[in-house]
């Protein structure tokens, strides 16, 4: 292929067609693109296909120190089959991947669509990752690495034991923005949408985790994630056969901010099941989740709930079986009396909490914005310190009225 004779800085344009081959960049800092680079027409992505022939290799591999200047744009990558990284294999490299369809690839072990390892740190943007298969991390798998994922659809991938959509373990920094993680499943394991274990830091911003399924952690499975932050996001209609329909959380500090969690189902903890982690809910709406035990939020550890709405969850809004739960300026259905507390659990019911119908625009149609007469408007709090610890600190530019509203969505006329 032209890659073998290319020079640093070259741009190679590939015309539409099906190319039956496996591509290795061999460390070259080049741009390889379909006509999409010139046309900006998605039809060129669909019509320019690299087929891996199911021959025991990845469709595309980066494993010779490729940098951000190595760019792959505008292809459909399909029929890769290997142990690791059926569609794309990245090791000790940090390429730029854009406008790709990574479809129907398979890995017997890890990373059906993409596998990232060995201190790699790629930037992946505007991609569709669908119908990939693996035992672990069917859509994307990352180990001992970092990555950024922007404007992605990770949909309808299937894994055997962990991470139907995305799986990360022993990773440093992961950033996922403006993406949809949907309809992924696990045959018998954990993390239908996203599975995380031993991750230093992960940030999710404007991410929808919807209609995923697993035995544990239908939407998200967070295990030993030191610092987890999710904001401006939605977790909905996920299913767990056991714990944590929306989220299963264990070990670390896990913060959900301006996030809607609704319509999730589990045996225990329909919205969230938090075990031995510190759970922070700030401007979160948890509504309409179902479980045989505690449809809303189940906590076995410490939790702080501020400026949030927890309302209308089947078989219990909140259960604190162990540790301390702090509730501040939140709307909890049936108030403090609705919180089930175990022998080792404690509640600090602070100021500003209410038990009033929140008056959503139309919860039957999944619209959980606040209506004009909602009692949750201007009834949150922007700053609060308890025993020297800052429970909440929201800058004035992040809310519209005199005080923040309760719930995931700030009211707007």
Residue range 83-112: mean pLDDT, rounded: 98
pLDDT at 204: 98
Nearest Cα to Cα of residue 50 among 117, 1, 96, 95: 1
Residue range 130-138: mean pLDDT, rounded: 98
CA–CA separation, 100 vs 184, rounded Å? 19
Domain boundaries of the chain, sorted by first residue: 1-160, 216-413
Which carries the bigger pLDDT value, residue 1 or residue 288? 288
pLDDT above 90: residue 86:
yes
Sheet of 213-214, strands arranged across: 81-84, 106-110, 133-136, 158-162, 185-186, 213-214, 239-240, 265-268, 290-293
Nearest 10 degrees: Cα torsion 34, 40, 43, 45: 40
pLDDT at 1: 58
Residue at token pair 């505008």: 74
pLDDT above 80: residue 413:
no
Residues forming beta bridges with residue 144, ordered by sequence position: none
Q: Report which DSSP code applies to 5.
A: G
pLDDT at 88: 98
Which carries the bigger pLDDT value, residue 247 or residue 301? 247
pLDDT-wise least confident of 35-49, 195-209, 335-349: 335-349
Residue range 179-192: mean pLDDT, rounded: 96
pLDDT at 304: 97
Q: To which H or E segment does residue 44 belong?
A: helix 43-47
pLDDT in tens, 359-395: 999 999 999 999 999 999 999 999 999 999 999 999 9
CA–CA separation, 369 vs 365, rounded Å? 11
3-state helix, strand, coil in the chain (%, to 5): 5, 55, 35
pLDDT at 322: 87
Q: Are 123 and 147 a contacting pair, CB within 8 Å?
A: yes
Q: Are 210 and 184 a contacting pair, CB within 8 Å?
A: no
Mean pLDDT of the chain: 96
Residues in the chain: 413
CA–CA separation, 391 vs 382, rounded Å? 10
Residue range 228-232: mean pLDDT, rounded: 98
Query: pTM above the 0.95 mark?
Result: yes
pLDDT above 70: residue 260:
yes
């Amino acid at each position: 292929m032209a890659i073998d004779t290319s020079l640093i800085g070259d741009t190679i344009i590939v015309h539409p067609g099906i190319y039956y081959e496996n591509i290795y960049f061999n460390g070259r800092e080049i741009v390889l693109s379909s006509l999409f680079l010139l046309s900006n027409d998605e039809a060129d992505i669909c019509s320019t296909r690299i087929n891996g022939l199911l021959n025991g290799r990845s469709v595309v591999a980066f494993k010779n120190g490729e940098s951000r200047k190595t760019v792959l744009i505008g292809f459909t990558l399909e029929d890769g089959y290997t142990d690791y990284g059926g569609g794309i294999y990245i090791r000790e490299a940090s390429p730029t991947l854009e406008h790709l369809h990574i479809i129907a690839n398979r890995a017997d072990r890890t990373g059906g669509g993409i596998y990232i390892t060995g201190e790699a740190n790629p930037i992946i943007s505007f991609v569709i990752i669908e119908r990939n298969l693996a035992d672990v991390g069917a859509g994307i798998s990352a180990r001992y690495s970092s990555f950024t994922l922007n404007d992605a659809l990770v949909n309808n991938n299937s894994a055997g034991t962990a991470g139907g959509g995305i799986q990360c373990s022993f990773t440093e920094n992961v950033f996922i923005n403006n993406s949809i993680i949907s309809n992924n499943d696990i045959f018998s394991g954990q993390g239908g949408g996203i599975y995380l274990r031993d991750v230093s830091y992960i940030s999710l911003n404007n991410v929808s985790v919807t209609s995923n399924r697993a035995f544990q952690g239908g939407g998200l499975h967070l295990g030993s994630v030191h610092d987890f932050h999710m904001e401006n996001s939605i977790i909905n209609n996920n299913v767990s056969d056991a714990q944590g329909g929306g989220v299963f959380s264990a070990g670390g500090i896990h913060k959900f901010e301006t996030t809607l969690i609704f319509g999730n189902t589990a045996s225990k903890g329909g919205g969230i099941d938090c075990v031995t982690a510190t759970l922070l809910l700030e401007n979160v709406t948890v509504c309409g989740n179902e479980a045989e035990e505690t449809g809303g939020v189940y906590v076995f550890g410490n939790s702080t709930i501020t400026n949030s709405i927890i309302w209308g969850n089947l078989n219990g809004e909140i259960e604190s079986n162990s540790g301390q739960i702090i509730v501040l300026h939140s709307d909890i259905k049936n108030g403090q009396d609705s919180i089930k507390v175990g022998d080792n659990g404690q509640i600090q019911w602070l100021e500003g909490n209410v038990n009033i119908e929140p008056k959503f625009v139309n919860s039957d149609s999944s619209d959980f914005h606040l209506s004009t007469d909602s009692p949750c408007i201007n009834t949150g709090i922007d700053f609060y310190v308890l025993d020297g610890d800052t429970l909440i600190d929201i800058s004035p530019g992040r809310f519209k009225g005199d005080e923040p509203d309760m719930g995931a969505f700030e009211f707007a006329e």
